[in-house]
Amino acid sequence: MGDIGLDRIADKIAGLGVPGLVLLVVMGSSGLTGAAAMTAALSILGGPLGMAGGIGILMLSPLILGALTRFGLENVFKMVLKRLRHKGCSIEEIREKIDGYRISSKMKGELKGHLDRWA
């Protein structure tokens, strides 16, 4: 990295706030480096919406994390589920969307468990 020290890099990432940490973790777990890591991280975060979706997720993450801190995961999940149902999504449609995400089987199981509790 040449003359750039860890302190300076940490300052730059901290300047991005939580979205910077999210991006850092996803980039680090991609197993890639450079532009390929950035592209992969944004694509992973964006799911079916690709890089554009990843950028949107990064922009929304402070709002989402603030809501999780204030209201708790279960309450936020319940409200999102209610909104999806209000918009006409069936539980089965939501399950199919969960199955289509590039997330771990464990995470899929947890999401479906929440669906079962509040359906």
pLDDT in tens, 9-21: 777 766 766 577 6
Mean pLDDT confidence for 105-112: 80
Per-residue pLDDT of 39-69, as tens digits, reads 888 888 787 788 888 888 788 877 777 777 7
Q: What is the 3-state secondary structure (H, E, C) of 34-91?
A: HHHHHHHHHHHHHHHHHHHHHHHHHHHHHHHHHHHHHHCHHHHHHHHHHHHHHCCCCH
- Contact partners, residue 50, CB within 8 Å, separation at least 6: 42, 43
As given in the structure block, the two tokens for residue 25 are 């973790």
Question: d(Cα 75, Cα 13) in Å, to the nearest integer?
Answer: 30
Q: Show me where the domains of the chain are located.
A: 1-71, 72-119
How confident is the model at residue 21, as a pLDDT? 66
Entry pTM: 0.53
Mean pLDDT confidence for 3-12: 71
Decide if pLDDT at 2 tops 60: no
The whole-chain average pLDDT of the chain stands at 78
Q: Which of 51, 48, 35 is nearest to 101 (CA)?
A: 48
